Structures are given as structure tokens and as C-alpha cells.
Amino acid sequence: MLFKDLKPKVVDILHTNSNSITDRLHAVCQLLSDNIEYYDWVGFYFKNGDKEELKLKTYVGEETDHVIIPFGKGICGQVAVSNENFIVPDVQAQDNYIACSFKVKSEIVVPLFKDGENIGQIDIDSETPDPFTDKDERFLEFVNLEVAKIL
Ligand code: SME
């Protein structure tokens, strides 16, 4: 499905107030994973209270050991401090990378801002080499802006 067709579905899911925030975030992960062929693992990490670490809130895909990620560690931890999108076309070429599954070839992490503060991120792993473009960045920025509205 095209990003432009997914956007209204993301909005519908997030602004359906009867479900918990975690359930709504999970439904967004499911929507993205089901409809974008190269999105194999989709999850949301958030800053864990006052700690300098990320905590996995919800995800769709293979189970991961990396529920807690210290700031600065891996692609996710780097985005927590850089405040910038990070596209990794080839995870094996990265020094500071935390492997979740040998099948993963590439990754994109886009920070999530609330009132100008980097409070979390959406993380996508792909089993396809080098699939992410600026279109993924713009789409995931849109998703995060919509998520921020319900937090
Ligand atoms: N690869 C990430 C770790 C999280 S998993 O992708 C679920 C990283 O390097 O931060």
C-alpha cells in the first residue's frame, strides 16, 4: 500500500480513543508491518523515565532481547542523542549497531518529538538491503507527529 493511503489509516488508529495508547501504537506497528513489504520489524522505543536509556514500548516482528537500550548505544541509542533520522542501508557496515536478528540487513530510526523534546522513536528493521528513501523518512515523521498528539 502507498504511504498516502496509509496516512489516513494511521490517523484513524491513533485517534480512536477507546483503546489504550500502547494498543494504538501496536496497531500502527501492525499496519505498517502488514502493508509495507520491506518493514519486517516495527517498534516504538521511548525514554525510560529519568534514565538515559530507551525502553521498548511495543513492536511487531521477531522477539528481541533489546528491550532497554542505553543512550548512545546502537542505532537507536545514537538517535536518542542526535535528534536526527538515521538510515542504515547496510547494518554490517555499522560499528555502533546492536544486532537483533541475523536476517536484518538495514534499519531506519526516526525520532519522535513532543513539545520539541526527543522523547522516543520509531524503529524499523528490514530484511531487504538498502530499501529506505526520503519517502520513508517523510512518512515516518508524519506517523511520529500523529503519535505525539496523543501523548
Ligand atoms: N538495531 C537496533 C537495536 C534495536 S532492534 O533493531 C529491535 C540498534 O542498533 O539500536
Q: What is the pTM of this model?
A: 0.97
Q: What count of residues does the chain have?
A: 151
Cell of 72: 548512545
Mean pLDDT of the chain: 97
- List, for residues 135-148, the tens digit of each pLDDT value: 999 999 999 999 99
Residue 131 DSSP one-character state: -
Residue type, 64: T
CA of 18 to the centre of ligand 1 (A): 31
> Which pLDDT score, from 0 to 100, does residue 34 have?
98
Look at ligand 1, atom 5, and give the residue with the nearest C-alpha. Answer: 100
Residue 64, ligand 1, Cβ within 6 A: yes
Residue type, 126: S
Domains of the chain: 3-150 (3.30.450.40)
- List, for residues 4-58, the tens digit of each pLDDT value: 999 999 999 999 878 999 999 999 999 999 999 999 999 999 999 999 999 999 9
Closest CA to 100 of 126, 121, 82, 122: 126
> Which pLDDT score, from 0 to 100, does residue 109 have?
98
Residue type, 10: V
Closest CA to 126 of 35, 37, 58: 37
